[in-house]
Amino acid sequence: MKTYIEIEGKQVDLEAHLSKARTIVTLGKNTEDAYNVLALDEDSVEVFQCQFTRTAEGNWKIQNGQWRTECPKGIRSRLQHACNLCMGRCVNSRPAHPTYSWRDPKNSTLLNGVELNHEGMELKDGDVIAMGHLHLSVRQS
């Protein structure tokens, strides 16, 4: 079953944003230090707003906040994946295995009016995702 998120009148297929290297779909505001797969230029949306992940059964769930890497040098510490800006000379003792931490937004993500946490909830057809003034709808087919 395909899951679409309607953003500003456009239906976005979550599955289309996955790859071998990308197993989650992040949604938030893009900044110089942070990249989100689904970027929204909305004041009520934060950089680490939420992320979509696949469950073991193949369904999608939404979680409040995002996993991000920690860089010991503070370079691009908001990246989802290891940055490689040190050109392989990272001061991290395990540069091939970066440390990740959970980043929560200040303003929570709501699913059908219920505040989400980092465990998240599964998406169903007709669900409404709210973050500040923005409301997104979920469509499945």
Average pLDDT over residues 19-28: 86
For residue range 45-78, list pLDDT tens digits in order.
998 999 999 999 999 999 999 987 766 555 555 5
Q: Is the pLDDT of residue 23 over 70?
A: yes
Tokens 């989400």 belong to: 116
Tokens 């999608």 belong to: 60
Classify 17 as helix, strand or coil.
helix
For residue range 83-136, list pLDDT tens digits in order.
555 544 454 555 556 667 788 999 999 999 999 999 999 999 999 999 988 999
Q: What is the pLDDT of residue 68?
A: 78
Average pLDDT over residues 14-28: 89
d(C-alpha 138, C-alpha 3), whole Å? 7
Q: What is the pLDDT of residue 34?
A: 75
Put simply, whether the predicted model's pTM sits higher than 0.85 gets the answer no
Distances in Å between the Cα of 135 and the Cα atoms of 34, 109, 119 are: 22, 10, 21
Which residue ranges form the domains of the chain, and what is each CATH number? 3-65+104-140 (2.60.200.20)
d(C-alpha 38, C-alpha 55), whole Å? 19
